Amino acid sequence: MKRLLVVLTAFVLVFPPVVGQAAVVTSNVATVGLAMTAAESLTVSASPSNITFTLDGAGTLATASGPISVTTSWFFNTAPRSVWTVGYFSSPAAALSTRTVNIPSNEVSANINSGRTGFSPCNLTEANVPASGSGGSCPDIATISATTTQGNETDSILLQVNLPSAVPPGTYNGVLNIVAQSN
């Protein structure tokens, strides 16, 4: 019996008992698909949102209260791209009007970025921006060669009204639409 005890003691010393260990178990691998869409965008913003015109003493020339700052921003998948930003009137026959009197767009002129060429009439048809309609567009506010996929450009447009004769007293209202298009 003594011998058995010595053998068991030797066995325990050589092969110590493993206490508290369990077999390693690994779970399955769960997967989650990821997706993100970054859509192309082209936006314009204009400030201020309203301008007023002051008529001269003869009632035939009205200058805007200040220039309109126009920022064109883009985020494209590829570059280079061309971008055109234009201002236009929805109705070339009535850029500004009262209930009874219309001032046509060809009597409204624009100066872009304080250009040396002066004021040009807003009676153009913009071929690069079909959304601007026919006959009521001002000269291009911006023609941009976007060499990067993301960027912006700020330009200015100053308007004036040049009338062939004085208009009747009244409040004349209108809207200049500003849009950009790329290809």
User: How does pLDDT run across 17-62, given as a tens digit for each residue?
Assistant: 555 677 899 999 999 999 998 899 999 999 999 999 999 988 899 9
Q: Report the pLDDT value the prediction gives residue 20, as an integer from 0 to 100.
A: 62
Any domain includes 167: yes
Q: Does residue 92 form part of some domain?
A: yes
* DSSP 8-state secondary structure symbol assigned to residue 99: S
Q: How far apart (Å, rounded) are the C-alpha atoms in residues 26 and 103?
A: 80
| 18 falls within a domain | no
Inside any domain, residue 133: yes
User: In angstroms, what CA-CA distances link 158 with 11, 13, 39, 81, 84?
Assistant: 101, 98, 33, 27, 18
Q: Does residue 5 lie within any of the structural domains? A: no
Residue 21 located in a structural domain: no
Number of domains in the chain: 1
| Predicted confidence (pLDDT) per residue in 152-175, tens digit | 999 999 999 999 998 999 999 999
Its domain, for residue 73, covers: 41-182
Q: What is the CATH number of the domain that holds 126?
A: 2.60.40
Q: What is the mean pLDDT of residues 73-85?
A: 93
Provide the whole-model pTM.
Answer: 0.78
Measured at the alpha carbon of residue 49, what is the angle toward residues 39 and 44, in degrees to the nearest 5? 20
Q: What is the mean pLDDT of the chain?
A: 89
